[in-house]
A and B are shown apart, each in its own frame.
Chain A
Amino acid sequence: MATAKEAPIVRLDHVVKTYRAGSIEVEALRGISLDIPANRFTMVVGPSGSGKTTLLNLIGCIDAPTRGTVEVAGQPIAALDDNRLSDFRARNIGFIFQNFSLVPVLSAYENVEYPLLLVGMAAAERRRRTLAMLEAVGLAAQARQRPNELSGGQKQRVAIARALVKGPQMVLADEPTANLDTATGAAIIELMRKVQEDSHTTFIFSTHDPHVMSHADETFTIRDGAVVAHTEGAVA
């Protein structure tokens, strides 16, 4: 269920991103301007190589545009140095990666707890939140298990719990179901939808999975580094 449209949490203004591959300069994003509203399930869709991941990297403040401005939660990211940018991400942004990207030497509990240590949360509150989050994603029983002892679906649940445990303003999910079978992928997207509704957190996905796309409140279609369509709800 989509919530009412709110003020944008992400603003991109004429953003250009170029990469240098040897002597050739490749323009991954070609002057994109867009506003992404808060507290919604937003999809960035498009074929492989269209620039979806590059766009998510800029929104997630882990990359900087070549030109143009990126504003996240009212904060122009160009104004922040690397440490402040790290702190900004630690407080405001959760990430869910296609390959789960859990820290392999930490248990499910420790992986979920990790972001709370970065924001300096007190031990008791950390424990309460971590256990609650693991409970929410249905992994309370697997809290002590390491990533190599978990299935793909369980790993992605841990990743979701890690992204949400600190109560971020925004969660970015880059192809979150790409490495999961259809049933598990569907369950994961249902879980994220539920969490989004419960926590009123902004979710921004990059995907070309039709099942994921069908959950969209808002869809940006991107091709060859440019937004070619902006649709309310899922793309037909």
Chain B
Amino acid sequence: MMLLLKIALRNILRNRRRSLMTGSAVAVGALAVLLFGAFQSFLFLGLETNLVQRTGHLSVFRSGYFLYGAGNPSAYGIPDYKAVMDRIAKDPEIAPLIAVITPTQSLVGIAGNFEGENDASKTFLGVGVIPSDRDRMRQWNAYGAGRVWGRDTRLSDDDEQRGLVGGGVARILNLCGALKLDNCPPAPALPSDDVATGAPASADITDLVNREAASQGKPVAQAMPRIDLLSATAGGAPNVVSLEVSGVDPQGVKELDDSYVVMHLALAQQLVYGRGEHRATGIVLQLKSTSDVPVVRARLERLIKDAGLNLEVRDFREITPFYGQVVALFGSIFLFISVIMGVIVLFAVVNTMTMNVMERTNEIGTTRAIGVRRGGIRWQFIAEGALLGAIGATAGLVLAIIAAWFVNRAGITWLPPGNANPIPLRLEMSGTGRLIAGTWLGLVLVAIVAALVPANRAAKLPVVDALRHV
């Protein structure tokens, strides 16, 4: 074996220029696959971090909510959700794994801005949260691949009236000026004949708001811009609340950005349940580690079954299919790049090994004559191919580490799919052991496969023909 490797290495060094070209092809292949793989890993981790910060790892819903609840969230509220949360939070198997457990209330309705001269309304998708829990969830950054958020003072546990809207909602409801937003020009004035005639619907909503505020003894005028949210209660009656818009929470997807409203859980519950029992549409669990998702999910499902609760558990991948789509897309691109690089390496090594066999035909005849078996010749050239692949792949790995080091210090930012805020671009090589090992072994394997045909041809050469070769 040592002789085999010694001869292989010396032959590689003997044909320096040819080996350098082939090794370079392998190195470039390794470099491309590793850098793209590192970028892909960072993208996946960043995306996962973003989702986990927003939606947690696992959500407990009323059965059927996930598939049908979007049309009528109020009908799928979890009764006595605090008791359910308490049971989950105190479970000895789950408790040590949880970072945050918090209730949420989803809702749909119409948001309107009828202050002063404004007369704009828009359907909205709302979510009610506990602000301090939202802050804690946004601290999750297990891979260091996400944005590090500070405490969001625009929302407060103590002020149930405050909320945030998507950038699109702010624009549509003419809140840009009041919120002092950049890149948010006011809507162009419409010609007078384009405006529909008749009493505006806003009059009815404003009237409802005033009556609701008066019934609760709250002042109507606010320092922050105020929008009115209209929704149907669980009982089907229309209900309206006022929301003081303390800022914008931009969303990466335009459709969501144009309809997103986040508010205090209590306000959302007031809007959806009125004076009835306040429920929650979801109980969100953010875990310390994503790797615990299967364990916690299984335990949650067992708890629910044992307690006879009409609930279901979904993880963040199910709740946001976009994540799976991005993973699949980038997985396909990665596979495509890997295959292309593999084919280039294959042909480069085949070419080199074929030339080596041709040049060393007489040597093959000599060694066969003195007693080397066919298998010995075959292994000799396979070892040469493997060594060439290993040297090239190792060089590619070193180059990739150097390139990643420079990229990571260049201060490049980028906007990942689904994100509203740019994040620093990092090519993380340190946490990608499987990628490195897979790329290295894959390229060595390709080099071995490439060497097989020339090696077999060398092994099958008749000894006398090989000796006659000049």
Contacts and interface: CB of A to CB of B under 8 A. Distances in A.
Given A57-B464, A117-B3, A95 B370 contact: yes
Contacts of A102: 366
Given A101-B366, A105-B7, A63 B464 contact: yes
Nearest to B370: A115
Given A62-B463, A105-B10, A90 B363 contact: no
A206 B84 CA distance: 98
Given A62-B464, A97-B467, A86 B371 contact: yes
A25 B464 CA distance: 18
Contact of A86 (B6, B365, B373): B373
Most buried by A among B14, B372, B374: B372
Interface in A38-85: 57, 60, 62-63, 82-83
A91 B370 contact: no
Contacts of B6: 106, 110
A103 B364 CA distance: 9
A99 B362 contact: yes
B3 to A, nearest CB: 6
A114 B463 contact: no
A95 B369 contact: yes
Contacts, number: 69
Most buried by A among B362, B368, B463: B463
B206 interface: no
A99 B365 CA distance: 12
B373 A105 contact: no
A104 B363 contact: yes
B11 A105 contact: yes
Contacts of A99: 362
A14 interface: no
Given A99-B362, A114-B3, A83 B373 contact: yes
Contacts of A63: 462-464
Contact of A89 (B3, B370, B462, B467): B370
Interface string A95-125: 1010101111110001000110111000000
A124 B362 CA distance: 31
A91 B372 CA distance: 11
A155 interface: no
A87 B371 contact: yes
Given A63-B463, A101-B363, A117-B3, A91 B369 contact: no
B462 to A, nearest CB: 8
Interface residues of A, number: 28
B371 A90 contact: yes
B362 A105 contact: no
B467 A62 contact: yes
Contact of A60 (B363, B369, B373): B369
A82 B373 contact: yes
Contacts of B371: 86-87, 89-91, 115, 118-119
A110 B2 CA distance: 12
Nearest to A107: B10
Interface string B363-394: 10111111111110000000000000000000
A57 B6 CA distance: 30
A193 interface: no
Contact of B374 (A57, A83, A89, A110): A83
A87 B374 CA distance: 11
A118 B463 CA distance: 17
A215 interface: no
Interface in A137-164: 162
A114 B370 contact: yes
Contacts of B3: 110, 114, 117
Contacts of A106: 6-7, 10
Contacts of B14: 104-105
Contacts of B370: 89-90, 94-95, 114-115, 118, 162
Contacts of B368: 62, 86
Contacts of A57: 463-464
Contacts of B372: 86, 90, 118
Contacts of A60: 369
A89 B464 contact: no
Contacts of A103: 7, 363, 366-367
Contacts of B362: 99, 101
A112 to B, nearest CB: 11
Contacts of A110: 3, 6
A103 B14 CA distance: 12
Contacts of B366: 95, 97, 101-103
Contacts of B462: 63
Interface in B313-366: 362-363, 365-366
6 contacts: A60-B369, A83-B373, A97-B366, A101-B362, A110-B3, A118-B371
Interface of A: 57, 60, 62-63, 82-83, 86-87, 89-91, 94-95, 97, 99, 101-106, 110, 114-115, 117-119, 162
In the A-B complex, the 9 residue pairs with the smallest Cβ-Cβ separation, listed nearest first, are A90-B371, A105-B10, A101-B366, A62-B463, A86-B373, A118-B371, A89-B371, A63-B464, A95-B369
Interface of B: 3, 6-7, 10-11, 14, 362-363, 365-375, 462-464, 467
